Amino acid sequence: MTLKQLAKHKKDVMSKRLVNQYIDSIKMDMIIEKEHTVKGMHIIDGRFRSPYAILFPEQMPGPLQWAHWRGYLPMKRRGVCIHLAGTGDHSYFRREYGLVNALCQEGIGAILLQNPFYTDRKPPQQFRSSLENVTDLFVMGAALISECNYLIKWAFKEGYGPVALSGVGWKKFDRAIAPAINYSQLQKQIEDEHYLTKLRNIPDVTWIDEMVSFYFKII
């Protein structure tokens, strides 16, 4: 049943880039549990119910449904990077030490999101990072997509931006593929109305205008 639900969600929602529209359609509350200021950075511990858990509560019962995060946000509203946890990362320490501290020195904020099935979100019967089911990995990915989209929306609403995403486990892939991207050509394509019209004519492609609006908002 879980695989069928995941496949349908991917086809009907994620593949059509409708995650944001789904998030907008449900009531979401951000719960701030603790906050204080250190060296000009506003440090926040918060949580919210995963949008994916609201859609599929049977896949994310108990503590799984709550997305816990820690934010290091500059007092002067600036850019923020959401750092996802690597495999086996059950704390904030590694990301704080390896990523956040250097960014904070440049006045750039950070949000550290706990993975589903890790730390406060770990099922009580699970042993360390060993997921009990293969489908748990797919649930983790789908949940993180919805949670990151919600955090991005929240950050923009609070006056922060632009917002970036990083993942420790993806660094080799990102490093390998980044030089292959012709960013000047990509920018021309995004600003080329004739090219965008061709994209709009592709069946089931409904996200073009949202992408363009987001692009011009950032620049």
In this structure, the strands spanning 31-38 and 41-49 are antiparallel
Q: How many CA atoms lie within 13 A of 164 on its CB side?
A: 10
Give the model's confidence band at 171: pLDDT under 50 very low, under 70 low, under 90 confident, else very high.
Answer: low
pLDDT tens-digit map of 3-12: 788 778 777 7
Q: 101-107, long-range: CB within 8 Å, 24+ apart, which pairs?
A: 103/72, 104/39, 104/41, 104/72, 104/74, 107/74, 107/76, 107/78
Q: In whole angstroms, what is the distance from residue 1 CA to residue 12 CA?
A: 16
Question: At 87, phi and psi to the nearest 5?
Answer: -60, 130
pLDDT at 217 over 70: no
pLDDT score of 154: 94
Amino acid occupying residue 197: T
| 180 vs 36, residue with greater confidence | 36
Q: Where are the alpha helices (DSSP H) in 98-133?
A: 101-105
More confident residue, 165 or 174: 165
Work out the end-to-end distance of the chain between its first and last CA atoms, rounded to an integer number of angstroms: 43
Among the residue ranges 1-15, 46-60, 65-79, the one predicted with the least confidence is: 1-15
Which DSSP letter does residue 160 get? -
Q: Residue 72: its pLDDT value, please?
A: 92
pLDDT per residue as tens digits for the range 194-208: 988 888 888 877 778
Residue 169's pLDDT is what? 64
CA distance 98 to 44: 19
The type of residue at 207 is: W
How does 156-176 read in b/e, with b if 16+ C-beta sit within 10 Å? eeeebbebeeeeeeeeeeeee
Instruction: Determine the CATH number of domain 3-181.
Output: 3.40.50
pLDDT digits over 131-160, tens only? 778 888 888 888 999 999 999 999 999 999
* Coil, strand or helix at 185: helix
> For residue range 73-94, what is the model confidence (pLDDT) as tens digits?
988 878 899 998 877 677 788 8
Within 62-207, residue ranges assigned H as helices are: 93-95, 101-105, 134-157, 171-177, 183-191, 193-200
Of the pLDDT bands very low, low, confident and very high (cuts 50, 70, 90), residue 100 is: confident
Domain parsing of the chain, residue ranges? 3-181, 183-218
